[in-house]
Amino acid sequence: MKNSYEINDLEKKESWRLFRIIGEFVEGFDVLPQFLPAVTIFGSARTSEDDPNYKLAMELAEELVREGFSVLTGGGPGVMEAANRGAKQGGGNSIGLNIELPAEQSANAFLTFGLSFRYFFVRKVMLVKYASAFFLLPGGFGTLDELFETLTLIQTNKIRPFPVVLIGEAYWSGLISWMRQHTLGNGMISEEDMSLFHLTDDIREAVELVKKSTAEQQGFSPP
């Protein structure tokens, strides 16, 4: 059994952790609004430079900054690096919200502005709160996590219904078929929920989706 000193020491540590969390929120809230309108691009940190998805992410980001959008990514390697590279190459704001991890993640070299976060959930708030759209290229658990959490927030009307665009039909089609057969087929979501995201390989189509929706988002206020 722990003595009172050990318990009080633990409580103090937890209290200071709360201040660090608040500090990360405050920093993000203070600086990110200056980069609006912005879009968030997700995808695997393990995508190599010779992967077609790397080039696709570069092209997408470059098109988006030319339309006046800042590009937000997780700030790391792979698809994130490619998106930041394309945004910087296009002369736009290339922003990375990096996460501190023991391995695999370090800020890429193509940022015009970056923030570093200790807490995943704070970083995720920033990547959603300031986005006019989500673009998701092929990725792993982190990409899937962002996809389904964002769809849940839109479905429950907790955030504005911005475009969620899946880039890469060959990669995403199997998941969508499974959702239609099992998740929708068993009544766990509605047919309307299947329209909360878009699937395309056409970068121009993807960019037009966010351009069309941006004006419509202005009047939306979550409950």
Whole-number pLDDT of residue 99: 85
The β-bridge relationship of strands 134-136 and 164-167 is parallel
Is residue 48 scored above 90 in pLDDT? yes
Look up residue 63 and give its two tokens: 């098109």
- Which of the two residues, 19 and 64, has the higher pLDDT score? 64
What is the pLDDT, as a whole number, of residue 214? Answer: 76
In this prediction, residue 222 carries a pLDDT of 42
Average pLDDT over residues 50-69: 96
* 134, 196 Cβ separation under 8 angstroms: no
Mean pLDDT score of the chain, rounded to an integer? Answer: 89
Determine the Cα–Cα distance for residues 110 and 108; give it in Å rounded to an integer: 6
pLDDT of residue 223: 41
Residue-wise pLDDT for 124-162, tens only, equals 999 999 999 999 999 999 999 999 999 999 999 998 889
- Angle at alpha carbon of residue 222, lines to 137 and 21, rounded to 5°: 70
**Edge to edge, what strands does the sheet with 70-73 contain?**
113-117, 94-99, 70-73, 38-42, 134-136, 164-167, 198-200
Query: Any idea which residue has 């879009």 for tokens?
Result: 39
Report the DSSP beta bridge partners of residue 114. Answer: 96
The pLDDT of residue 192 is: 95
Q: List the one residue out of 192, 126, 184, 122 whose CA is nearest residue 157.
A: 192
Alpha-carbon span 85 to 119, nearest angstrom: 25
Tell me what the mean pLDDT of segment 110-133 comes to: 93
Q: What is the pLDDT of residue 221?
A: 44
Q: Is pLDDT at 5 greater than 60 in this prediction?
A: no
Q: Kindly state the percentage of the chain with pLDDT values over 70.
A: 89
Q: Residue-wise over 87-106: b if at least 16 C-beta within 10 A, else e?
A: bbebebbbbbbbbeeeeebe
| 168-207: pLDDT as tens digits | 999 999 999 999 999 999 999 999 999 999 999 999 999 9
**The pLDDT value given to residue 10:** 54
Quick one: 109 exposed, middle or buried, by C-beta within 10 A (0-12, 13-18, 19+)? exposed
In this prediction, residues 39-59 reach a mean pLDDT of 96
According to the model, what pLDDT value does residue 75 have? 92
Question: What is the three-class DSSP state of 219?
Answer: coil
Length of the chain: 223
Candidates 39, 87, 45, 41; CA nearest to 66 is: 87
76-106: pLDDT as tens digits: 999 999 999 999 999 999 999 998 776 656 7
Q: What is the pLDDT of residue 220?
A: 45
Domains annotated on the chain, with CATH: 4-213 (3.40.50.450)
Q: By three-state DSSP, how is residue 114 classified?
A: strand
Strands 164-167 and 198-200, bridge-based pairing = parallel
